[in-house]
Structure 1
Amino acid sequence: MFAALQALKVIESDALPYDLCTRREFARWVVSASNTLSRNSASKVYPAMYIENVTELAFDDITPEDPDFPFIQGLAEAGLISSKLSNNNMPSSESSRVTFSPESPLTRQDLLSWKMALEFRQLPEADSKKLYQLSGFLDIDKINPEAWPALIADLSAGEHEITALSFGRTRLFQPSKAVTKAQTAVSLAIGDAFEVVGEELARIEAEAMAENVVCAHNELVAQVEKDINASFEKELLREKEIVDAVEKLAEEAKSELARLRVEKEEETLALERERTSIETEMEALARIRNELEEQLQSLASNKAEMSYEKERFDRLQKQVEDENQEILRLQNELEVERNALSIARDWAKDEARRAREQAKVLEEARGRWEKYGLKVIVDSDLHEQTTKTESTWLNAGKQNHVEGTMKRAGNLIAKLKKMAKDVGEKSREVIYLIIEKISLLISALKQQVHGMENKAKDLKIKTKSKAEEVWRQTSLRADEIRNISIVKAKETVEEFKDRVGKLGEKFKSK
């Protein structure tokens, strides 16, 4: 801090930090620090100006001719130090002689009193008990009671406490002990001046670091120059040795070059001879090359012809493969058609067999009817026999056989349609033609069956009416009725057999 205040021109540059500070010097430094370091204009103390017959002197031993009169008089006029100006209320006998003693050493008590009066407009109230609680000083009775408020204000400043920063940890304040200029500098740097002094200290430290860096750099440059010079001398000596060796090698190379020139001339002559022979060989090679080019052209034309023939062969081979595939497809379709026809033929045979069986059943029914017709029927037995005959005929003419035929025909048609999905268009048309023929046959069969049912119903009605007529008239007419019924039944059976036979022949012809 002392150096910072010197740099800020608050303290003279020739002042030494461990010398004792006089009251004159501290008064001068306090006013200078207030104007230089304080950033608050209300805290500044300005030097006093002497006006003859107007200015009242604050101290008897400080005259206007004194070089520090403006500073000491300014502190007194500001009321920061005790003087005749602040003791006007005292009796004249007591205030007749007030001295400042500028050359006397500055005491700890005066240091704190002046500084705290500058820092605080209003000092706290103080007593010995409160002062002891804050400081723990053992010599409070030696301290002037007028300095107690300033001491309490300083002890309440915390980390900016002048007592601790200047005097260290102590239980004896020693108010009359003189202070050094370094301790005075600490007190001047506390308060409003703390930031400015801190900035100046940082600047001084930075300058010192910069100077150290510059010195270190200069030393490094000198050392580097010395090392470079030594290295240069070594390199120069080594280069000189290299030059000597190179000159020696150059002489050897020169003699070697002369020898190589002679050898080169001999090689040139040999190369000329070889060149002549090579030119002769090149002419022969040119002729051979022309012949080879002609052969290559011939081979190229042959290759083009072979490529054309190969392409034509590939096309023919592809056509053959396509035809083979078409033949296989036609064979598959033909096989499918053959299977369809075989299935249809089997179905027709099966239906013809069933028709024959049905005809046989009808023939047996007719035989039973004829058998029953030969009996002599009387009274109620005639009605019972007639009922039995009707039951036998109706059972023989049931539609179970026809419905089974239609169901099997429907299954056959579904199977043929499924086969038609997996074949070509032409085979599909053949299969659909077979399906159409079967459908027509089924339709014809349905119509024939319907006609036979109608005839059977008519026959039933006629038979019943005739039986009733015979029963009503006489038993003698029974033979006539039986003969008529037998004839009708035979005609019906024959007609059914003829139609079934025609249906089977028609299907076989298809």
Structure 2
Amino acid sequence: MAAAHSFSLLVLARLSASIVAFLVLTWALYFKTSFYPHSSSTQEEDLIYAVLHPLLMVIGFILISGEAILVHRWLPGSRNLKKSVHLCLQGLALACGVFGIWTKFHSRDGIVTNFYSLHSWMGIICVSLFGAQWLMGFLSFWHRGEVRMTRIRILPWHVFLGLYTYGLAVATAETGLLEKLTFLQTNGAVQKRCTESMIVNGMGLSLALLSGMSCWFFFSVLSTLLDTCDVTRIPKFSLSASVSEKVAAVSWGVSDPNAIDEYNGWDFVEPPVEKKKKKGLSKFLVIGMSVSLAAGLGVASYFSLYQKGFKFQFSGPLHESHDSLASNEASNKGEDGETVDLSMGSDEISETVEGGSDFDDKNVVLETHNVSTKGVTRGVLGRITIPFAVDSTQEEALFMLKKLKIIEDDVKADELCSRREYARWLIKANTQLERSRKHRIVPSVVLSGSTIAAFDDVGVEDPDFATIQSLAEAGIIPSKLPDKKFASTPNVSEDQGVCFSPDRFLSRQDLISWKAKIEYEIMPVIDKEISRKNIAFLDVRDINSEALVELFVDLRAGEQSILRRVFGQAKRFQPDKPSTKAQAAVSLTSGRMEEYIQSELAKLEAENLSRLMTMEEIKSDLLDRGEIQRIWESNMEVERSRGLEVESAYLSSIGDLEQEKIVHENARAELLKQKAALDCQKQLLSSLKEEVDEMSEKLACEKFKHVDEQCDLSGMIHDLQVKHEALLDKKSMLEAESEALRKLRSWVEDEARRSQARAKVLEEVERRWRWEEQ
């Protein structure tokens, strides 16, 4: 029964892990808008890191480490194999955790921005403890192989830290899910009862169930071991343990004291299967937990389908994710410079347009369809192109103001309105149409006695200085006029100046606030905090506190509200979003001005009708008198005489042109002759040039030959000089030898003469000897 009980717990743990993996993959791949990086310029790269963080921390860290905890129970084989798999899985989980934290800190927000919440602190502590735990287990039970006494003392701490870090990882994931879902619901990107909220809540419940199953399974095995092992009798410096009769079945040490493996032995010894009496609690408990899990998933599915229904697309999620992340920035730019920021969903599209152009309704529908299909359903994030569409109300308002000469005729409805233009139109409309003296602004009266410019960037030479200064003097727009101390300070630096920025685009907040200050009587008893609470906008925190009272008073007007008439029913005001000229025209024609404009238009119509009637009367009177016929005949006579004069002038001009034509033809013939002569000369020059080129080439060749001959001659001269010097040396040697021979000859002749003299003497001596002998 114990094996069946463990198998049931293992199945429940595996089922919970599969549910967690399915939910986190679904959340990361099909709801990528929730991970959209708001402060990034390279949005695709940061989106990849944002999606990888939950995948690595949940699947790579929690699920793999949980599987490593359970590996001792379900993996068959030797203890060494189980220890190896346990060590490798925990190392893989540690690598996934470290890489998951790196992906979060690698985003554009930086480390400091992501280091402010309890979730981040818990995650860093959990991964640090997990790394220390893995290193302690590696050194104690694998690498060095401590003695049994050391392993037994470290074992409780190893088990406790392992379960503690696993529970801390699950708690960190729960806080991360809660933090992310809270931020999304606060920003209005996700509703409380929607598919994404149900998926995140189901993921949290599945993680809690998985951690419970893993810890319960481990403690069940641990309790069995503690029942069978008695380690309290181990003395301080003793290596033995007192074991009961059950120690032969299960032990923390090796079963054979003399057997020492390469891991120095630490693991559960496989106990023999014992037959025990069946217990019914585990069976009912497993069934109850399974029914509870199925009921929870059923409730989540019901609420999600009841709200919007599951809109999962299971056809190639990884392929679509790769395509959406690898798309280039060219698809995020408009053809005419108009771009729209898709931040949270199809219902919250903010237009940030740099330049306007004319678009028809067909293009508008097509582009909006592309946004709903590509920008939200498939999760393609970025900036998309949506042309401005002008409705009938805006066209009618713009037409009426153009007819009353308040707005220029060349103004286009889909262009963005600047602050300068709106201020000019607001003062002009108030001056021409306002009937109530209480709400009327007269620039000549307001500007009388003004000595200080309201803004530093709007000088007297500015063409709209009078209108902008009038609004500032009337207190419609904030300026430096109320601060007398600041206004009287001489030589105010540029950094401290108050600027109006007349060429900047008009925001929605200024559009409603300026008009409301003129339209309504703002009561001083209305508090700003009360106004903030009663304005039902999701982005009420983004609205400037100075404009809260005006917006509150305008919204209290109901159907006559300027904001509702300009922007319609909306939950997000987007105060910094630029306004178009058509929207400015609608605001100018709202409120009391609507009645005044109608009366002015009726007056213009009446004046036009009276003018037409007067013209008809004058026409009929002139026809009765016959003056028109006489004037017509006299004019016809004048035109006939003028026609004759024009005809004679025409004929004379034709004669002059004919003569000029003959002169030009003669000149053209002369020019042709000159051109032919020049062509002949050109050909002659070209032939001469060719001959000169040939001669120059020959001269160059001869020059090269001459240079070669000079080189040869110089070489020959050098050789002859060398030979001449050799001959001179030989001559000097021969002269010396002849001199030596002459001296030798003279010496030989002298010696010969001496020899002859001696011979004569010897012959005389010999003759005397002979004579004496005789």
TM bracket, shorter-chain basis: 0.3 to 0.5
Which structure dedicates a bigger proportion of its chain to helix?
1
The structure whose RCO (Cα within 8 Å, separation 6+) is larger is 1
TM score, norm. by length of structure 1: 0.37
Larger radius of gyration: 1
TM-score w.r.t. the length of structure 2 is 0.25
